[in-house]
Structure 1
């Protein structure tokens, strides 16, 4: 199987090319799901001339199956459960509560670590482009859309370089617009479609956000 993208910045440039309708507008904000979505979103924001911020969301990995999402957690207390996974694996409520508590702590840590005291961008009445490096189940993005809506945007548009057909299709029921550049018929993980899918670090996230603020 040949990778679709060299790395996340390359994927971001490809994605930006399909989002040109949003270029030069002062009502557009780009929100990245960290960490992997930040290098993608940085390229999109730079090419569109839009503000960039992070929107931390944590996948709730199923015990013993970390790659499988039993739900997702986003800012503002938004919790999305994947009951199909929970029931199929027989995961108890006590276990779920423990995972949620741990991920809430990590969510708070990332908020503090990434913004370095800067306030979150105001999305009230604006068009939000919500970006990640890909979607497998869509659980994380679903939580993000739900949480962003609580902040009063005019529209929420989901944009990713690659996604499973099912995740892309289901996202159309919750977002105002959806752009999935590629939806391979056989989909196992987001990483398989990148030649370089090395982990994005906290330092890289902070540096990209600093560069975005400086450019703005």
Structure 2
């Protein structure tokens, strides 16, 4: 599965940036997660392992908050777009760092992408300094304003390798965790833009090649209209 995940994200940097220009979603998630982590950390956060940093959307936001990030990602193509001074290609299930290295570990929209979140949470605990803090966000779903799941009437479900509930369970095995929910007003076009990212279209059509899966995803979602809501669960552990 990890090879498939890596290949999907290797094909995705440009589409990720296009979605971010349209929505600003991942930058907003990174800002909110940093603030939630900072509020609960026993000391000012100076260093952060940006775990699943991708093309650098979350890395840039951490830098804007005065934090020194280490950008880690499984995908070389994503990391090549990341302008962090320190970039490491690696798997957050097996972090290539010694114990007690970081003030914080941030999984901005990434921990739900591993089939073994408990392993990743344990590794985060290992590389954190005493009293350090971990944060993660995970998607709950896309809804209409009346609470109807956008995918309920469609032939496919957009599923992550790991659910938000499983992400929370994994973190609670290694940390004392607080959690909450963030809701964003969004649009059907933003929904289609997100699923035009090859790695996200793979959640709908994992067995198709890149171009075909993106085309099929946009076709599937073409009839969705009206204002929507996107729901995310956040977690902070100490």
- The interval holding the TM-score normalised by the smaller chain is 0.3 to 0.5
TM-score (norm 1): 0.42
TM-score (norm 2): 0.39
